[in-house]
Amino acid sequence: MKIAMAQLNYHIGNFEGNLNKMLASVEEARQQGADIVMFGELSVCGYPTRDFLEFDDFIRRCQTSVDALRAVSHGIAIVVGAPTRNPVAAGKDLYNSAYFLYDGEILGVQHKALLPTYDIFDEYRYFEPATEFNVIEFKGKKIALSVCEDIWNVGNENPLYTICPLDEMMPQQPDFILNISASPFNYAHAEARIHVVRTNIERYKIPMFYTNHTGSQTDVVFDGGSIVMSPDGKVFDEMPYFEECLRVYDLDAVVKGGLDRPQPKDKIRLIHDALVEGIKDYFAKLGFKKAILGLSGGIDSALTVVLAVRALGAENVRVLLMPSQFSSDHSVNDARVLAQNLGVQYDLIPIQPMYEAFEAALKNQFWAHAFNVTEENIQARVRGTLLMAMSNKYGNILLHTTNKSEMSVGYGTLYGDMCGGLAVLGDVYKTEVYELARYVNKDREIIPLSSIEKPPSAELRPGQKDSDSLPPYDILDKLLFQYIECRQGPNELIALGFEESLVKRVLRMVNINEFKREQAAPVIRVSTKAFGMGRRMPIVGKYLS
């Protein structure tokens, strides 16, 4: 028996586009002699589908796609994910289901039992969990069909759940496992995914074919990395990251095993590729082509423009250099050199005259007050206005360049440098920005070294440095990671060795700036706990503030 795995980039709600991709994959698999071709979880409609699932028409169109695939299943079985109606009056209206189609018939449907409702996942909002588990018999083999999370409770050891779907199927003696997934990317997930698949193999002693999505859906990125694992617990194959791909596997060869071909999993390379994919798909799936951003000569905007060029092409990226009277000459020069290195169009628009116009207009109101953050924010908002004007005039979507460290502590100006349609670095700490910049420069100098080596500064007042108001980033980022990703409270942070006064100050800064993050652009998720859907905090909460 030959099994094809189609790792595809789906588009939420794009029924025609998704179906055409799957139909093409069916024919390709058929030409390669496959007996089964499998697609991802909710592949007919894309994932995460969210409240589109509440529209009857949306569910009908999902079923229409399933019917179209069923019609071409002659001589080849098709495994596809789709929402299905719950025929029982009690419970949720829908199941998250895997269809097994063959010769124009539905040979079986397995519903998902374990519905993740944590981090970015909200499946129990929409779906009813499965209570029945039956293997599918096909060409003399018994198949355990499962959907994504259903393999993440091996032996019922996950405290989130009370049932292990594969344990329920094992008395029926399946020969192998098919798992259709939509498993989002974070930089630690590829290792975790292989570990979970291997743990299943060690328990059940049969091979698994695990098919994942690739591509990006707004803030959620999928890395592919679909896995074939043999009964010996070795990775028979791991498909490419961030690429569409179809491969056909001989079941007997997989059962025999002996091969071990996992991909390397370098954190910074994975983050780089995920950010490029996030930008590329955000623009492509919304029908946008061109981006714009402010290029300051600092490391954050420098890294963002490199990623944008790699995602969209230099011809589709434009930058504005907007020096003020506080900008250093070397910052302007660094920005100009980088734009020339990349071949992007750049415009130089000094903001001092506009800033001084604001200063003059407010003179009667501000005369008794010294220069402070107000004047700093005016500069940022002048720049934001210029960028949005160019965006409106030319149709270039503005990219937000603020990093996770800055977003965490509110070190950004609403309606200024926080303007934009997509926050490219909003899930990347400042220390990781430096690592990414060095990765970009690994073969040749693209980002000027002075942008990487100089002390970070917003350059909004004379001699300003980030360290004037923030702790060093190597300390700040470690503290933020423990608080945001690891959910450590103040006592735990102090026990880890952080100074009590620093803990109280930083946690207060994080919590009182929730209102800013609520108004920020979508953040491309690359970590285990990103701002946005994965971290839902009250704006007016008193805790730790």
| Residues involved in catalysis | 41, 112, 148
Question: What string of H, E and C letters represents the secondary structure of 492-523?
Answer: HHHHCCCCHHHHHHHHHHHHHCHHHHHCCCCE
Single-letter code of the amino acid located at 205: K
CA distance 151 to 82: 18
Residue among 505, 529, 290, 262 at smallest CA distance from 395: 290
User: Angle at Cα 475 formed by Cα 469 and Cα 481, nearest 5°?
Assistant: 110
Instruction: Please classify residue 279 by burial: count the beta carbons closer than 10 Å to its beta carbon, then call 0-12 exposed, 13-18 middle and 19+ buried.
Output: buried
542: tokens are: 């008193």
Count helices and strands in the chain by DSSP H and E runs:
18, 19
User: Angle at Cα 151 formed by Cα 145 and Cα 152, nearest 5°?
Assistant: 160
User: Angle at Cα 129 formed by Cα 126 and Cα 132, nearest 5°?
Assistant: 145
Residue among 176, 182, 151 at smallest CA distance from 166: 151
> What values do phi and psi take at 380, rounded to 5?
-60, -40
User: Angle at Cα 81 formed by Cα 78 and Cα 82, nearest 5°?
Assistant: 120
Give start and end residues of each alpha helix (H) in 205-250: none
CA distance 141 to 107: 13
> What values do phi and psi take at 186, rounded to 5?
-145, 165
172: tokens are: 């029926």
CA distance 126 to 143: 27
Residue among 453, 459, 448, 452 at smallest CA distance from 340: 448
Single-letter code of the amino acid located at 460: L
CA distance 88 to 222: 33
380: tokens are: 């940022």
User: Angle at Cα 487 formed by Cα 486 and Cα 489, nearest 5°?
Assistant: 125
The set of residues, in sequence order, having a beta carbon less than 8 Å from that of 147 and lying 6+ positions away, is 41, 81, 96, 97, 98, 110, 111, 112, 179, 180, 181
